[in-house]
Amino acid sequence: MPAQWSAPVRYVECDQQGVVFNAHYLTWADEASNGWWASMGLSWEELVERRIDPLVKASSLEWSASARWGDTVTVDAETEQVGRTSVTARFTVRVGDRVCCVVRTTYVAITNGRSTPWPDDVRARLAA
* Calpha distance 128→126 (Å, rounded): 6
Tens of pLDDT, residue by residue over 24-67, are 999 999 999 999 999 999 988 888 899 999 999 999 999 999 99
Residues in a beta bridge with 7: 73
* Calpha distance 39→37 (Å, rounded): 6
CB 55 within 8 A of CB 48: no
* Calpha distance 59→108 (Å, rounded): 12
Q: Which residues contact 27 (CB under 8 A, 6 or more apart)?
A: none
pTM given for the model: 0.94
Tens of pLDDT, residue by residue over 76-122, are 999 999 999 999 999 999 999 999 999 999 999 999 999 999 999 99
Mean predicted lDDT score pLDDT of the chain = 95
